[in-house]
Amino acid sequence: MLDDGLKAAGARVRAALSEALAPMGALPVVAAMRYATEGGKGLRGYLVLESARLHGVDETTALPAAAAIEAMHGYSLVHDDLPAMDDDDLRRGRPTVHRQWDEATAILAGDALQTLAFELLAGAAVAPERRVALISGLARAAGARGMVAGQAMDIAAESAPEPLSLNEITRLQAGKTGALIRWSAEAGPLMAGADPAPLGRYAEAIGLAFQIADDLLDVEGDAGEMGKAVRKDAARGKATFVSHLGVAGARARAAALVEEACAALVPFGPEADSLRQLARFVVSRKT
């Protein structure tokens, strides 16, 4: 059921992105932008649509914001995969953008995907002050206090003399993956002019659970099934939730976070069942 919802939402978000990219012509950089937004699970776009639905915002209105977060996420993956960053050849079961094209195209495609995210939000059919709230929130989530801070900490950790503490990893991940996930869940209330705090708490918990699951998958997952390299953390001697807590401890922590996320959904009643399923999915997923 969640799976159907994710798939259907993903198709509509991809269609919205495709429509936004169509007038940009046939340059390789535009093809690379499209490629970089394909093939993912679409969790962030789904969170935008579901948080919007919970606040009475119809899907047509919410779609630009859902497309925006998938563009922003796509940009972050393209740049993160670059040789100077994580140097990955495989993403979502396909060659990474710089392998499929070249590094220059990957840099530019990532750059233009970030720009596109803000362009989409500026064109959303909600009141201008709500568009500004979406834009301002996404800029804070993506910038040097949010996602980029997490990525920079991640890079700094590679050459640090000591492995990161559990607290440091938690802060790093709150930026690197947590900030965009949180914005996705806050987008619905922001579009409705409602309080984003309850869904913000929900998203903070699932964001962290998502990362713990990622660390577990790096240890236990299958590269073929996942469409990307595994066992990278241990090979690099990288401190992760699993290296600190062990497999059983990490699993228990992820389960506790799912409970925490669901507790934040109580005010929304059964309408929020899709978000409850999503919380369970992020820790049980195999890819």
- Residues in touch with a copy of itself (CB under 8 A): 21, 23-25, 27-30, 33, 75, 79, 82, 84-85, 102-105, 107-108, 110-112, 114-116, 118-119, 121-123, 127-129, 131-132, 135-136, 139-140, 142-145, 148-149, 151-153, 155-156
Residue 27 vs 223, nearer CB to a copy of itself: 27
Smallest distance, a copy of itself to C-beta of residue 232, A: 16
Smallest distance, a copy of itself to C-beta of residue 82, A: 6
The helices-and-strands tally (H runs, E runs) of the chain is 15, 2
Residue 124 vs 279, nearer CB to a copy of itself: 124
Residues 234 and 168: their CA atoms lie apart, in Å, by: 18
Residue 132 vs 234, nearer CB to a copy of itself: 132
Smallest distance, a copy of itself to C-beta of residue 186, A: 15
Residue 117 vs 272, nearer CB to a copy of itself: 117
Cβ neighbours of 43 (radius 10 Å): 23
**What CA–CA distances, in Å, run from 11 to 58, 158, 261?**
17, 37, 26
Residue 148 vs 229, nearer CB to a copy of itself: 148
Q: CB-based burial of residue 280 (10 Å sphere; 0-12 exposed, 13-18 middle, 19+ buried)?
A: middle
**Are the CB atoms for 151 and 192 separated by under 8 Å?**
no
Task: Name 88's Cβ contacts closer than 8 Å, sequence gap at least 6.
Answer: 80, 81, 96, 228, 229
SS (H, E, C) 216-276: HHHHHCCHHHHCCCCCHHHHCCCCCHHHHHHHHHHHHHHHHHHHHHHHHCHHHHHHHHHHH
Smallest distance, a copy of itself to C-beta of residue 159, A: 10
Smallest distance, a copy of itself to C-beta of residue 183, A: 12
Smallest distance, a copy of itself to C-beta of residue 99, A: 13
Residue 157 vs 219, nearer CB to a copy of itself: 157
Which residues is 90 bridged to in the sheet? 95
In the chain, the largest separation of any two C-alpha atoms, in whole Å, equals 51
